């Protein structure tokens, strides 16, 4: 990028105090079509999923965005330059789907891309930002997931500039539309995306696997990778070691859609997945087919204690505690909470190969160093649904099984 353009953009970013924020005081919750259905999205699927969110009680718990991912469009814009919904998949158009979703008290999301094409070679929004944003507003869309596939063709135009253009277009569209960036692994977006979006993907795509990454996946936040990385659950959690301190209301690092209920994980593994997405303040967007989901996976997605950790008023993520963890064996993360009686959350997760006993010295946990910090606190073991006695100097955990996570919420008595 030329120096002059860069300076102009930097000034623009600094001069833009709050384009983001109001819609994302808490990490967003909902459902997205991509993980399970890929390009096979249609009106029937979106409507039945919206209805199912209501029927299962998920909607009441906060899962209120119904997000159509890639594949809703046609390959050509119309003669006025407008993106068009595929008439076979959406015979009544997107507005009719939005009306239905709204009639259930839910919100509708849509997908586009900051390049000439998106990942499926449908028309991206680059150069059409104003037109597309105003079309989404006319359709009463509430959420835009904005991808970066076409970004590879843009050469010198930086991601910051392309994503900022759509941010302005949305602000000028006349409708409040949640702006969710999907710019995966490049340009360290946690350093800039908070200026103009509500959430931003911090990695290449997740895939339905607890431990196994696809080849070429990098395991830290700062190594560059591509959009189709095939990141496992454990690796996504690993990448957040560098990023959890960046989490803040109004600009959530997005660990990608949940794979709970997609059929590859055990109950302990799904509990681990959900606990970390919640405690690290990632958006909670279900990626499974909720019309065909096991009772056990549904119960995990509906765990109220875990959802409360995600939606806590403070909006601070748990941080990794390397001094208390054992690399390759178990990981300990902790962070503050401030809703109701909850004050702290501690996660102890066994990702090794044998059951473990863990002694946790509370004086080593930030915010609990002094005895006075711990006075009057009691422990709730979330997945065991057990409230236990008051806090001492240490917490003793016996026999934490392989893949299991212990989520301990420390509460005021
Ligand atoms: C990827 C994105 C996925 C999905 C896909 C659609 O770039 O990370 O979440 O949206 O594009 O083609």
pLDDT(246) > 80: yes
Rounded distance from Cα 119 to ligand 1 centre (Å): 7
Q: Among 243, 327, 236, which Cα is nearest to 273's?
A: 236
CA atoms within a 13 Å half-sphere pointing along the CA-CB vector of 234 = 21
Strand partners, 113: 147
CA 196-199-346 angle, to 5 degrees, is 135
Among candidate residues 64, 118, 142, 147, the one labeled active-site is 147
DSSP state of 73: B
Residue nearest to atom 6 of ligand 1 (CA): 70
- Whole-angstrom Cα Rg for the chain: 21
What local confidence, expressed as pLDDT, does residue 156 receive? 72
Closest CA to 32 of 273, 254, 358, 319: 254
State the catalytic residue, choosing from 113, 132, 194, 205. 205
Cα 160 to Cα 15, 136, 150, 176, 329: the distances in Å are 15, 22, 14, 21, 39
| Nearest protein CA to atom 11 of ligand 1, as residue | 119
Identify the pLDDT of residue 361. 95
Higher confidence at residue 159 or residue 380?
A: 380
Residues within a 6 A CB radius of ligand 1: 34, 69-70, 119-120, 147, 149, 182, 184, 205, 227
- With beta carbons less than 8 A apart as the criterion, state whether 141 and 110 touch: yes
For residue 184, the ligand 1 atom closest to its alpha carbon is 8
Best of 40, 68, 119, 282 to mutate for ligand 1, by most ligand atoms within 8 A of CB? 119
Q: Which CATH class is domain 319-412?
A: mainly beta
Sign of the alpha-carbon dihedral angle for 170, 229, 68, 75: positive
Q: Where are the beta strands (DSSP E) in 155-295?
A: 178-181, 199-201, 252-254, 284-286
Say which DSSP state 91 is in. Answer: T
| More reliable by pLDDT, 224 or 18 | 224
Map residue 55 onto helix, strand or coil.
helix
Nearest residue (CA) to ligand 1, atom 8: 205
Question: Which residue in the block uniquely carries the two structure tokens 């690993």?
Answer: 238
Q: Which fold has domain 2-310?
A: TIM Barrel (3.20.20)
Q: Which atom of ligand 1 is nearest to the CA of 256?
A: 9
In sequence order, what E strands does 34-174 have?
65-67, 107-113, 143-147
CA of 138 to the centre of ligand 1 (A): 24
Tokens 């010198």 sit at which residue? 156
DSSP 271-321: HHHHHHHHHTT--EEE-S-TTS--HHHHHHHT-HHHHHHHT-SS----EE-
The separation between the first and the last C-alpha atoms of the chain, rounded to the nearest angstrom, is 56
Instruction: Tell me the best of 32, 37, 147 to mutate to test the pocket of ligand 1, counting ligand atoms within 8 Å of each CB and taking the most.
Output: 147
Closest CA to 242 of 183, 208, 191, 192: 191
Atom of ligand 1 nearest to the CA of 201: 8
* pLDDT beyond 80 at 14: no
Beta strands 377-381 and 330-336 are: unpaired
Question: What is the Cα–Cα distance from 346 to 117, expressed in whole angstroms?
Answer: 43
Q: Tell me the pLDDT tens digit for each residue of 250-301.
A: 999 999 999 999 999 999 999 999 999 999 999 999 999 999 999 999 999 9
* pLDDT attached to residue 264: 97
Atom of ligand 1 nearest to the CA of 111: 10
pLDDT(324) > 80:
yes
Domain ranges of the chain: 2-310, 319-412
For ligand 1, the distance from its centroid to the CA atom of residue 8, given in whole angstroms, is: 30
The reported pTM is 0.94
**Partners of 156 in beta bridges:** none
118 noted as active-site residue: no
Average pLDDT, the chain: 92
Nearest CA to ligand 1 atom 9: 205
147 is catalytic: yes
Tens digit of each residue's pLDDT (9 = 90 or more) over 122-159: 999 999 999 999 999 999 999 999 999 887 666 678 88
At 112, list the tokens: 């586009």
Of the pLDDT bands very low, low, confident and very high (cuts 50, 70, 90), residue 112 is very high
> What is the structure's pLDDT at 106?
98
**pLDDT tens readout for residues 196-243:** 899 999 999 999 999 999 988 988 888 865 556 899 999 999 999 999
Protein residue closest via CA to atom 3 of ligand 1: 205
Q: Which residue has the higher pLDDT, 349 or 218?
A: 349
Residue nearest to atom 12 of ligand 1 (CA): 119
Task: Give 120 Cα–ligand 1 centroid separation in angstroms.
Answer: 9
Measure 2 CA to ligand 1 centroid, in angstroms. Answer: 29
Does residue 78 register a pLDDT over 70? yes
Distance 227 CA to ligand 1 centre (A): 7
Q: State residue 3's pLDDT score.
A: 46
**Nearest atom in ligand 1 to 182's CA:** 8
**Distance of alpha carbon 98 from alpha carbon 155, whole angstroms:** 35
pLDDT at 19 over 90: no
Whole-number pLDDT of residue 15: 43
What is the whole-number distance in angstroms between the Cα of residue 70 and the centre of ligand 1?
7
Residue 401 has pLDDT above 70, yes or no: yes
Q: Which of 185, 227, 257 to mutate to test the pocket of ligand 1 (most atoms within 8 A of CB)?
A: 227
Distance 405 CA to ligand 1 centre (A): 29
Q: What percent of the chain has pLDDT over 70?
A: 92
Task: Give the ligand 1 atom nearest the CA of 204.
Answer: 8
């Amino acid at each position: 990028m030329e120096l002059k353009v860069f300076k102009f953009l930097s000034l623009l970013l600094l001069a833009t105090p709050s384009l983001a924020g109001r819609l994302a005081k808490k990490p967003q919750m909902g459902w997205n079509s991509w993980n399970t259905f890929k390009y096979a999205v249609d009106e029937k699927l979106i409507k039945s999923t919206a209805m199912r969110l209501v029927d299962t009680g998920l909607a009441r718990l906060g899962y209120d965005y119904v997000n159509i991912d890639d594949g809703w469009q046609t390959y050509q814009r119309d003669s006025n330059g407008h993106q068009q919904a595929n008439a076979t998949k959406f015979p009544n158009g997107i507005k009719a789907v939005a009306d239905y979703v709204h009639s259930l008290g839910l919100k509708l999301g849509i997908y586009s891309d900051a390049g000439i094409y998106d990942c499926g070679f449908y028309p991206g929004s680059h150069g059409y930002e104003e037109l597309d944003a105003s079309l989404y507003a006319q359709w009463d869309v509430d959420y835009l997931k904005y991808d970066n596939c076409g970004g590879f063709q843009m050469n010198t135009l930086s991601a910051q500039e392309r994503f900022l253009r759509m941010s302005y277009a949305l602000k000028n569209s006349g409708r409040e539309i949640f702006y969710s960036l999907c710019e995966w692994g490049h340009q360290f977006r946690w350093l800039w995306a908070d200026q103009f979006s509500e959430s931003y993907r911090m990695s290449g795509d997740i895939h339905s696997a607890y431990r196994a990454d696809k080849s070429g996946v990098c395991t830290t936040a700062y190594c560059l990778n591509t959009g189709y990385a095939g990141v496992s659950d454990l690796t996504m959690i690993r990448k957040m070691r560098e990023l959890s301190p960046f989490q803040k209301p109004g600009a959530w690092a997005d660990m990608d859609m949940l794979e709970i209920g997609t059929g590859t994980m055990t109950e302990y593994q799904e509990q681990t997945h959900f606990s970390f997405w919640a405690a690290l303040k990632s958006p909670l967007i279900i990626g499974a087919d909720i019309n065909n989901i096991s009772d056990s996976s549904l119960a995990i997605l509906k765990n109220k204690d875990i959802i409360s950790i995600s939606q806590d008023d403070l909006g601070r993520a748990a941080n990794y505690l390397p001094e208390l963890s054992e690399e390759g064996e178990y990981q300990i993360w902790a962070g503050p909470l401030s809703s109701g009686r909850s004050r702290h959350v501690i996660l102890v997760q066994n990702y090794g190969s044998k059951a473990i006993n863990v002694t946790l010295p509370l004086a080593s946990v930030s915010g609990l160093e002094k005895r006075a910090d711990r006075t009057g606190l009691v422990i709730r073991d979330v997945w065991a649904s057990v409230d236990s006695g008051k806090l001492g100097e240490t917490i003793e955990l016996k026999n934490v099984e392989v893949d299991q996570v212990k989520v301990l919420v420390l509460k005021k008595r």
